[in-house]
């Protein structure tokens, strides 16, 4: 959830036709996902967000929007899931102050409610009646908040790499530290203490934590398409100021505005039959924590990606894509009037 990525990466809404910049749909979205069918700049509270669509809204099955983590992350990690566009429109976007979206830099915008309203503004601008919302990490909290606020527009909600509660997350992270080799665990604790050692001592220990739970060493190398897209991305990637303001300077404790954040109570308000939790086998989102969330959501499902960490979408792309595809197909088939 709350991690710095491993690579650096209001006005009335304009008519959709005026916003869109259309390109040819690639014959194989998985082969060249860098090409979008359309790109949009959509007005939201505080500025405009950048949105891309693979597929055509109104054609195919129910659209899906993918909600990135951070706070301050970008859509980039969802590239492998654009293979889903062979069945349904796939919508990616960067949250305000991240990536390709506007960067007004106003902390007044950095509130969960505004990020949820941002999603609804995107839905209205694109003309989507109902969509699947797939959130990862911090994005899973936004997906749950959205599903609770707009059930009539939510075909399903996927809470992947599940973050819903800061206190649960911090507890889980500290339990995972305990499972690391003794010297690494001791170094991380010292680095989080009142008189931390030098950064040269702390960085390798933090890297060991990430290798275990957030980007395992056996993950696939970036493809040529991914590398080309990063170059095209123009360096407008992760926003550390946003991350630090909302979360804090380190992975292992929260000192920002999300320090008391907890939306697990919303699980009782949503239709559990439309909720799926997805985590990696070695995820920072610990399986026992997510099972507690599952117990609060009658009818919900849980999928665990074998061999995956918090970065399972990039590490096990075929498995992740198959889980999401099967889930949405089943929910679509069960929807009234399908």
Catalytic residues: 137, 283, 310
Pairing of strands 301-305, 47-54: unpaired
CB 327 within 8 A of CB 276: yes
Among 74, 299, 251, 293, residue whose Cα is nearest residue 164: 293
Which residues 6+ apart lie within 8 Å of 27 measured at CB? none
Residue 83 dihedral angles phi and psi, to the nearest 5°: -60, -20
DSSP string of 223-257, one letter each residue: PHHHHHHHHHTTT----HHHHHHHT-SSTT---ST
Would you state the structure tokens that stand for residue 100, as one six-digit string? Answer: 């390709």
> Is 112 exposed, middle or buried (CB count within 10 Å of its CB: 0-12, 13-18, 19+)?
middle
């Amino acid at each position: 959830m709350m991690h710095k990525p491993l690579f650096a990466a209001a006005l009335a809404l304009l008519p959709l036709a005026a916003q869109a910049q259309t390109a040819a749909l690639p014959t194989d979205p998985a082969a060249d996902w860098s090409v979008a069918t359309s790109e949009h700049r959509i007005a939201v509270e505080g500025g405009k967000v950048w949105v891309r669509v693979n597929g055509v809204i109104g054609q195919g099955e129910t659209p899906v929007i993918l909600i990135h983590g951070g706070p301050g992350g970008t859509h980039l990690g969802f590239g492998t899931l654009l293979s889903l566009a062979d069945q349904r429109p796939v919508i990616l976007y960067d949250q305000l102050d991240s990536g390709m979206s506007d960067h007004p830099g106003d902390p007044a915008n950095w509130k969960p409610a505004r990020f949820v309203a941002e999603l609804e503004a995107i839905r209205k601008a694109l003309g989507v009646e109902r969509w699947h919302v797939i959130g990862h990490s911090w994005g899973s909290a936004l997906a749950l908040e959205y599903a609770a606020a707009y059930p009539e527009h939510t075909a399903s909600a996927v809470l992947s790499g599940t973050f819903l509660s800061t206190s649960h997350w911090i507890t889980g992270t500290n339990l995972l530290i305990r499972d690391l080799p003794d010297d690494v665990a001791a170094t991380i604790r010292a680095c989080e203490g009142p008189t931390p050692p030098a950064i040269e001592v702390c960085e390798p220990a933090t890297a060991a934590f990430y290798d275990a739970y957030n980007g395992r060493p056996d993950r696939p190398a970036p493809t040529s398409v991914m590398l080309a897209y990063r170059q095209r991305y123009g360096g407008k990637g992760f926003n550390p100021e946003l991350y630090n303001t909302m979360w804090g300077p380190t992975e292992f404790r929260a000192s920002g505005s999300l320090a008391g954040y907890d939306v697990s109570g919303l699980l009782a308000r949503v239709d559990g039959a439309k909720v799926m939790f997805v985590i990696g086998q070695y995820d920072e989102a610990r399986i026992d924590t997510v099972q507690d969330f599952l117990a609060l959501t009658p009818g919900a499902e849980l999928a665990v990606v074998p061999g995956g960490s918090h970065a399972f979408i990039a590490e096990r792309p075929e498995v992740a894509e198959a889980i999401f595809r099967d889930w949405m197909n089943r929910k679509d088939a069960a929807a009234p009037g399908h």
